[in-house]
Amino acid sequence: MGSKNFAVGCDMGATKIISCVVDSDGKVGYECRFPTEAARGTKKVGENLISAIKETLSNCKDKNISGIGIGTPGQINFETGEVLGSAPNIPGWTGVNVKELIASEFDYPCVVDNDVNAAIWGEFLYGAGKGCKDIVGITLGTGIGGAVIVDGKLYRGSKFCGGELGHISLKYDGIPCRCGGIGCFEEYCSSRGIKRMAISKLKSKKRSLLVSMVEGDLKKITSELVTQAYHKGDEIAKAVIRETGRLTGYALSIIINILNPEKIIIGGGIATIGDFLFNAIRDGAKERSLPVPYSQVSIVPAKLGVMAGAIGAGSLILKGAQ
């Protein structure tokens, strides 16, 4: 039993860093959470990451640790560990070399990858993607992340920037996105898209539980409140979620026509709304995909929950840094 391999896996989120020890069956041992404190600057973020890893290592001294895997927002040079760009949730993170940061503190091999790549790697090995070869992962939350596995390998693109599925443009003359593009999927179907759509719908029809939930101040609407109102049967909230699902399906139809995946796995906070959302997503995807590739794909919820990223990051060490 002493021969079992373990790794530390860290998932860096906008608000918290999840660190854990994971074994080669994907089982999580010790885990801890540290705040990211992105607003306090990248030095502090780095310190928090190191603290999380130290705490994890000090709690698994009896284990044979093979290395440290880290999933972080942004486009990551998987070979060097450098953050190449686009990590709006951690300002200043672009240009940081996470691998060097870890090497300066720890004497373990380290791999660094995009956080959604790490999460889908976890789902591929132990979750909703188990047994598949060609899958796409989407996270619906504050932002929309994406990752692609082709023939059992993470697809990183020619220079590590593939899979930016949140920035598929749904409408070339649509809403400007903070990435500089126009009409991006993320602007329509992330938390801020849901908020925007709810406010827009409420402007024309004021009778909704949502209005009383925010005491008439529509600016206070959040995607969480929309979800709560939906669960209480509110019609406007229901319409917002249906429309969000349908638009998500439209974005997936683009992915289906290009990549012809066997499975699309959807995680993130918004995905927890459940069947009503997933059915709307499937309807949208069916409506807009080419019939043959649509008939070959299943669109399913992620299985590993909030631990997917940390499990996947650790598993990049244990199960091939592919």
Helix axes 235-259, 275-288, angle to 10 degrees: 50
Query: Per CB under 8 A, which of residues 292..311 are in contact with a second copy?
Result: 292-293, 296-297
Nearest approach, Cβ of residue 268 and a second copy (Å): 18
Contacts of 139 (CB under 8 A, 6+ apart): 116, 119, 145, 146, 266, 267, 268, 271
Task: Give the max Cα distance, the chain.
Answer: 65
Nearest approach, Cβ of residue 257 and a second copy (Å): 4
Nearest approach, Cβ of residue 182 and a second copy (Å): 7
Considering only residues 250, 304, 310, 316, which one is a binding residue for a second copy as defined by CB under 8 A?
A: 250
CA distance 306 to 297: 24
Apex 251 CA angle, 249 and 252, nearest 5: 60
| Type of residue found at 39 | A
For position 190 contacting a second copy by CB under 8 A, the verdict is no
For position 247 contacting a second copy by CB under 8 A, the verdict is yes
Contact 76/113 with Cβ under 8 angstroms?
Answer: yes
For position 268 contacting a second copy by CB under 8 A, the verdict is no
Select the span of 42-50, 172-180, 233-241, 301-309 touching a second copy (CB under 8 A).
172-180
Considering only residues 118, 170, 264, 299, which one is a binding residue for a second copy as defined by CB under 8 A?
A: 170
Contact 306/71 with Cβ under 8 angstroms?
Answer: no
For position 124 contacting a second copy by CB under 8 A, the verdict is no
CB nearer to a second copy: pick between 22 and 154? 154
CB nearer to a second copy: pick between 103 and 132? 132
For position 257 contacting a second copy by CB under 8 A, the verdict is yes
**CB 150: neighbour CB atoms within 10 A?**
14
CA distance 111 to 127: 21
CA distance 116 to 94: 17
For position 148 contacting a second copy by CB under 8 A, the verdict is yes
For position 167 contacting a second copy by CB under 8 A, the verdict is yes
Query: At 288, which helix (H) or strand (E)?
Result: helix 275-288
For position 288 contacting a second copy by CB under 8 A, the verdict is yes
For position 75 contacting a second copy by CB under 8 A, the verdict is yes
**For binding to a second copy (CB under 8 A), which residues are involved?**
75, 84-86, 133-134, 146, 148, 150, 155-165, 167-174, 179-183, 247, 250, 253-255, 257-262, 288-293, 296-297
